[in-house]
Structure 1
């Protein structure tokens, strides 16, 4: 279960910077947005969310190039990075996160087994400089457990990134 303390910490950091954030989700299907907005007052720092479950949605809503999806697969750090950058650019938010993965129970492969989740973070500082980071994690458990772990991870990592 995600601790509301992590969300409160993230909210405090964003509010102190007068920043807003956005989220682009695939395998979590809105769980991140729902989790973030559990905190009263989240409209002060949460701008919007994109649930881009299909490849077409990733392309149309976030500007993910079709070539990236064809070359690396929807579950890849390259696509996660493009999703985060697209969410950040389209929303005008200072920070954006993205999640794309295989929650199961099917859909996995030898290269990308069930539980493989790719994350992206796109951050634009007050000077207008952009940076993007990506990471791939492997989570265990059933579909719901994988989705919850992915949600918790992306939120806590964004808080850590913004603290530094």
Structure 2
């Protein structure tokens, strides 16, 4: 709970609005964060987008990207985060896509693989980051670990975006 409070405080203290685009976690990250009273002023929206069609319809993820890189890829996670940032009233967007289990993917991606993306609007610029992590546990343990991880990294990547922005100025 302390981590969630820290993230909620970080968002509100920095006057950030968050949008999420969650596939693997199906809205769990935004749900976990919403446990903190008062965080609503820092949340714009949370989207649960499982299917390729939903990713395309709501976030403008291209079918070409999905076909080329697969649903569980940093490229898809990045397009999800960019779509969440651009289609909503947010200055930070997070996204994830992965394989929580119990079955693996058609392309052989191991269970527990989750691709993440973070996008930030700083001034007139947008900054994007992505990474892939492997989590252990059953389906719900993977989902919860992924939801917490994507939230925990917001300050890390936001500070990186701010530093990159300051170095350009």
Fold conserved between structures, TM > 0.5 = yes
Question: 1:31-110 maps to which residues of 2 (within 5 A)?
Answer: 31-108=28-105
Deviations along 1:110-132, whole A, 9 cap, x unmatched? 7511111000000011x121010
CA offsets 1:31-55 (integer angstroms, 9 cap, x no match) = 1111010011111101101100101
Q: 2-side partners of 1:132 and 1:65: how far apart?
A: 17
TM (norm. structure 2) is: 0.89
Q: Secondary structure at the match of 1:7?
A: helix
Whether the 8 Å contact between 1:80 and 1:98 is mirrored in structure 2 is: yes
Tell me the number of residue pairs that the alignment of Structure 1 and Structure 2 aligns.
Answer: 160
Partner of 1:141: 137
Unaligned runs of 5+ in 2: 161-169
- Matching residue within 7, 20, 31 for 2:4: 7
CA distance in 1, matches of 2:59, 2:151: 20
Kept in 2, the 8 Å contact 1:119–1:136? The answer is yes
Are 2:21 and 2:49, in contact at CA under 8 Å, matched by a contact in 1?
yes
Gaps of 5+ in 1: none
